[in-house]
Chain A
Amino acid sequence: MSCINIIEKERSAIINPMKTCQPLGAMYAVTGINRAVPLVHGSQGCSSFVRYSLSRHFREPSEIAVTSLHEDAAVFGGRRNLVEGIQNVAIRLKPSLIGVITTCSSEIIGDDIIGFIGTAKKELNEKLGQDKAEKIKIVPISTPSFVETQLKGYDNAIKALADHVAEPGEPNEKVNIIPGMVNPGDVREIKHILNLMDTEGIILTDISDPFDSPLRPSATQYKPYYPKGGTTVEEITDSANSLGTISLCKYAGSGALSLEKKYNVPVELGPIPIGIQNTDQLLRNLKKITGTDIPDSILDERGLLIDSMADLSGRYLHGRTVGIYGDPEITAGMARFVGELGMEPKMVITGSKSPEFIKDIEKVGKETGVEIDTMVDQDLRTMEVYLQENPVDLLIGSSDARLIAKEQNIPLVRVGFPVFDRVGYHRKPIVGYNGGLHLIDLITNTVLENYYENEHWKLQQ
Chain B
Amino acid sequence: MPFKLFEVSKEIPERKEHTYVKHCNDPEDCLPTCNSKTIPGSMTERGCAFAGAKGVITGALKDVAHIVHSPVGCTVYGYGTKRYPTTTTLPDGSEFPIKDFNIKYIIGTDLQESDVVFGGIKKLRQAIRDTNKEFPFVSAIYLYATCTTGLIGDDMDGLAKEMEEEIGKPIIAFNAPGFAGPTQSKGHTIGNNVLFSQLVGKFEPPQTTPYDINLIGEYNIDGDLWLLKDYFKEIGINVLSTFTGDSSHYEISWMHRAKLSVVRCQRSSTYIAKMIEEKYGVPYIKTDFFSTNYCAENLKTVAKFFGLEEKADKLITERMGKIKPELDFYKEKLTGKKVFIFSGGPKSYHISIPIEKELGMETTGVSSMFEHEDGFQKMKDRVKEGALVIDDPNTLELEELVEDYDIDLILGGVKEKYLVHKLGIPSLLIHSYENGPYIGFEGFLNLARDMYSSIYSPVWNLLEFQETEEPDIIDPAEELEEAK
Instruction: Please list the residues of chain A having a beta carbon within 8 angstroms of any beta carbon in chain B.
Output: 11-17, 19-24, 39, 42-46, 48-53, 55-56, 59-63, 65-71, 73-74, 80-82, 84-89, 91-93, 103-105, 108-109, 144-147, 149, 213, 215-218, 220, 222-225, 227, 351, 381, 400, 403
Contact: A104 with B148, CB < 8 Å? yes
Give complex CA distance A190, B183 in Å: 42
Give complex CA distance A215, B131 in Å: 46
- CB under 8 Å from chain A, chain B span 88-119: 100, 103-113, 115-116
Contact: B178 with A51, CB < 8 Å? no
Known contacts: A13-B107, A14-B107, A146-B148. The answer to whether A71 contacts B179 by CB under 8 A is: yes
Provide the residues of chain B in CB contact with A149, threshold 8 Å: 72
Given A15, A60, A69, A220, which contacts B179 in the complex, CB threshold below 8 Å? Answer: A69
- CB under 8 Å from chain A, chain B span 159-203: 177-184
Contact: B72 with A21, CB < 8 Å? yes
Question: Counting chain A CB atoms within 10 Å of each CB, which of B148, B184, B400 scores highest?
Answer: B148
**A107: nearest residue on chain B (CB-CB)?**
B116
Given A11, A20, A21, A105, which contacts B134 in the complex, CB threshold below 8 Å? Answer: A11
Known contacts: A20-B72, A46-B178, A92-B9. The answer to whether A104 contacts B147 by CB under 8 A is: yes
Which of B36-44, B263-271, B273-281 is found at the contact surface with chain A?
A: B36-44
Known contacts: A74-B150, A222-B403. The answer to whether A215 contacts B75 by CB under 8 A is: no
A146 to chain B, nearest CB (A): 4
Provide the residues of chain B in CB contact with A16, threshold 8 Å: 79, 104-106
Given A12, A68, A82, which contacts B123 in the complex, CB threshold below 8 Å? Answer: A12
Known contacts: A16-B106, A70-B179, A86-B41. The answer to whether A222 contacts B415 by CB under 8 A is: no
Contact: B72 with A145, CB < 8 Å? yes
Give complex CA distance A46, B148 in Å: 12
Known contacts: A17-B76, A48-B415. The answer to whether A88 contacts B123 by CB under 8 A is: no
Given A19, A48, A213, which contacts B51 in the complex, CB threshold below 8 Å? Answer: A48
B147 to chain A, nearest CB (A): 4
Contact: B400 with A223, CB < 8 Å? yes
Contact: A225 with B399, CB < 8 Å? yes
Given contacts A67-B41, A87-B41, A88-B40, 19 further A-B contacts (CB under 8 A): A13-B67, A14-B109, A17-B108, A46-B73, A48-B51, A52-B77, A55-B415, A66-B41, A68-B39, A74-B147, A84-B41, A93-B396, A109-B151, A144-B113, A215-B421, A217-B424, A218-B464, A222-B403, A225-B399
Known contacts: A69-B179, A224-B399. The answer to whether A147 contacts B113 by CB under 8 A is: yes
Check B24 for interface membership: any CB of A closer than 8 A: no
Contact: B424 with A44, CB < 8 Å? no
Provide the residues of chain B in CB contact with A13, threshold 8 Å: 67, 107-110, 126-127, 130-131, 134
Provide the residues of chain B in CB contact with A39, threshold 8 Å: 41
Provide the residues of chain B in CB contact with A21, threshold 8 Å: 71-74, 76
Question: Counting chain A CB atoms within 10 Å of each CB, which of B81, B105, B110 scores highest?
Answer: B110
Given A19, A85, A105, which contacts B40 in the complex, CB threshold below 8 Å? Answer: A85
Check B146 for interface membership: any CB of A closer than 8 A: yes
Contact: A48 with B40, CB < 8 Å? no
B381 to chain A, nearest CB (A): 28
What would be 23 A-B contacts, judged by CB atoms less than 8 Å apart? A12-B130, A14-B108, A20-B73, A22-B73, A43-B177, A45-B77, A45-B147, A45-B178, A46-B73, A52-B77, A63-B395, A88-B42, A91-B11, A104-B151, A105-B178, A105-B179, A146-B148, A147-B112, A220-B423, A222-B403, A222-B423, A223-B396, A403-B104
Give complex CA distance A401, B284 in Å: 41
B66 to chain A, nearest CB (A): 11
Given A15, A56, A146, A222, which contacts B113 in the complex, CB threshold below 8 Å? Answer: A146
Contact: A146 with B71, CB < 8 Å? yes
Provide the residues of chain A in CB contact with B23, threshold 8 Å: none
Give complex CA distance A65, B115 in Å: 28
**B187: nearest residue on chain A (CB-CB)?**
A45
Give complex CA distance A89, B103 in Å: 36
Provide the residues of chain B in CB contact with A24, threshold 8 Å: 73
Give complex CA distance A22, B74 in Å: 11
Give complex CA distance A59, B422 in Å: 11
**A49: nearest residue on chain B (CB-CB)?**
B77
Check B418 for interface membership: any CB of A closer than 8 A: yes
Contact: B403 with A65, CB < 8 Å? no
Which 5 pairs between the two chains have the least Cβ-Cβ distance? A21-B73, A45-B48, A85-B41, A217-B424, A49-B77
A180 to chain B, nearest CB (A): 19
Contact: B130 with A11, CB < 8 Å? yes
Provide the residues of chain A in CB contact with B8, threshold 8 Å: 92, 223-224
- CB under 8 Å from chain A, chain B span 128-145: 130-131, 134
Provide the residues of chain A in CB contact with B67, threshold 8 Å: 13
Provide the residues of chain A in CB contact with B108, threshold 8 Å: 13-15, 17
Give complex CA distance A357, B106 in Å: 26
Contact: B47 with A44, CB < 8 Å? yes
Contact: B11 with A23, CB < 8 Å? no
Provide the residues of chain B in CB contact with A70, threshold 8 Å: 37, 179-182
**A62: nearest residue on chain B (CB-CB)?**
B415
